[in-house]
Amino acid sequence: RMLSGYKPKSNVQDSYKILDLEEGCSLDDVRNSYHNLAKKYHPDSSSGTADSKAFIRVEEAYRVVLSDLAAKQQSEAGEEEEEQFKSKSLQHRHYLSFEGVGIGTPSQREKQYMQFRVDRATEQVLEYRQQRLESRGAGSDLSRAQDVRQSKKVKITQAVERLVEDLIQESMAKGDFDNLRGKGKPLQKFSHSPHIDPMTHNLNRILIDNGYQPEWILLQKEIRETIERLRKSIVASRRKLGEPMTPPEQKQWGRVCEQFAEDIRKLNKRVDNFNLVVPILSRQMVHFSTDKEIRRARKTCEAVPEKVSGSDTKEDKGEQGKRFGWKSYLLKWLKL
């Protein structure tokens, strides 16, 4: 890009000569000269001096002169901005900024000052490393002594903590803590806390007296009661049907499962609302699975008849023992 935009000085001077102009002319002069030469050399003009090659040279010269004028205007605008910047700030401020480092425009001085800071930081790092190496050689014995003292302090502290813990455990085993003041009594409901202001303390006391409970606690209680009620209802519905189920009973069971799935879906929405308002991450709940709950209800219904049948067999054995018990006693008496 730099090479394509570069124009030699001789080329610029030749362009001014082609347009019959001098350097420092205005933009209007350049345009008027170009229009006159274009009318003179344009191939489509009816003049006798029409020449396509000359017109091409005139057009190229016109473009070169325009680019030269634009570059001069930009450089003048930059110099004006710098003059405005200098006029706004006091004269001595220019030399106080950037610690008086650098020469030229403010941007050039800023770059020079950044390089100066990098060099200075490098020298400071090297000096610090050198001093550190020298201090290590001179004060190695002192640092070792300090490390030994510190390790001894840590060992003593740990030994004292273990001794105190052993004494506490020994006293608890002897029962020295059984007759403490207030043992077995409830804690004070409105004990003063130094970490909250009196207004917050009074508001909490009023809310507790009136039975206030946070929203997430109420939601948690409602979710637990709802899932217990749904489990009991589906178990009761399954017990009403026979085993094995007839086709009408299977259709009825399918309708019960569909209604149960809808209730579980609504309950999972409540779980989502609960997870959004619960302040403790470990208190969050997971969604309930419809398939797992249905399998659980089936296992519950299958386990109950087995228990009932087992109790029936025990009762039958007891009755049989009562029936045949007098015969065995009679046989024993006859043998005697």
- Are 260 and 252 spatial neighbours (Cβ–Cβ below 8 Å)? no
Residue 242 sits in the same domain as residue 295:
yes
Per-residue model confidence (pLDDT) at position 1: 43
CA distances from 296 to 10, 167, 235, 291, 301 (A): 98, 52, 9, 9, 9
CATH number for the domain that contains residue 63: 1.10.287.110
Residue 49 sits in the same domain as residue 122:
no
Residue 320 lies in a domain: no
Most confident of 222-231, 240-249, 312-321: 222-231
Number of domains in the chain: 3
The per-residue DSSP string of 39-58 comes to HHH-TTS-STT--HHHHHHH
Joined together, the tokens standing for residue 128 give 């610090």
Per-residue model confidence (pLDDT) at position 8: 53
pLDDT confidence band for 268 (50 / 70 / 90): very high
Q: What whole-number distance in Å separates Cα of residue 99 and Cα of residue 97? A: 5
Q: What is the span of the domain harbouring residue 130?
A: 106-137+145-173
Q: Which of 35-44, 117-126, 305-314 has the lowest mean pLDDT?
A: 305-314
**DSSP secondary structure code for residue 242 in this structure:** -
Residue 269 lies in a domain: yes
| pLDDT tens-digit map of 16-35 | 888 878 777 888 888 888 88
Calculate mean pLDDT across residues 3-10: 51
Residue 288 lies in a domain: yes
pTM above 0.85, yes or no: no
pLDDT confidence band for 9 (50 / 70 / 90): low
